[in-house]
Structure 1
Amino acid sequence: MSSSVPTPQQLADIDDEELLRLAVSWRAQASRGDREAFGIAHALEVECRRRLRASQLHQLPPETPPAARPWWKFWSGKTDSISAP
């Protein structure tokens, strides 16, 4: 990888394991004071998080809609209400 911040197209061509390895490597260089490595590491880490978030969203089960109630019972949210004196 060159010493400039990678473009989204360049990042899309890298598989997940390689992306993680590169992010760790560039972050190590950045922690040693390399200013150019900081931007590259940041771009790689952002892509790692984006992919992780997308894969986690695919794993979520679909949300089930609430049970339908007749429209005239919209004010009774609880089944066992306390009667007023």
Structure 2
Amino acid sequence: MTPQDLQDQELMIQAHEWRARALRGEKQARGIAHALEREIRRRFPSPSNDTVYDTLDLRPLEQRREAAQRPAWKFW
């Protein structure tokens, strides 16, 4: 069994089972669980810090407070 040969669903199931076996104390299970989890991370990458950083409001605190106090629309 190689992690690359498994379908996505089977990979998730196997990783969960092997991690549970490793937590119960099986010595060889830790390495197998790690290899399966590494393949999961390769197939399904999490968002990088760059994308999270782009969504942060980096304006100074004073500007953010002013924007919060102003109404979102202008009354004409």
Once residues 6 and 22 of structure 2 are traced to their aligned partners in structure 1, the CA distance between those partners, rounded to angstroms, is 21
TM (norm. structure 2) is 0.57
Query: Any gaps of 5 or more consecutive residues in structure 2?
Result: 48-76
Question: Which of the two has higher C-alpha Rg?
Answer: 1
- Following TM superposition, the consecutive aligned residue runs of length 4 or more in structure 1 with deviations greater than 6 angstroms are none
Identical-pair percentage: 51
**Secondary structure of 1:53's partner?**
coil
**1:12, CA displacement in angstroms?**
1.6
Matches within 5 A, 1:61-76: none
**Secondary structure of 2:11's partner?**
helix
Q: Corresponding residue for 1:49?
A: 41
TM (norm. structure 1) is 0.51
Once residues 25 and 49 of structure 1 are traced to their aligned partners in structure 2, the CA distance between those partners, rounded to angstroms, is 17
Q: Give aligned pairs, total.
A: 49
Once residues 28 and 18 of structure 1 are traced to their aligned partners in structure 2, the CA distance between those partners, rounded to angstroms, is 15
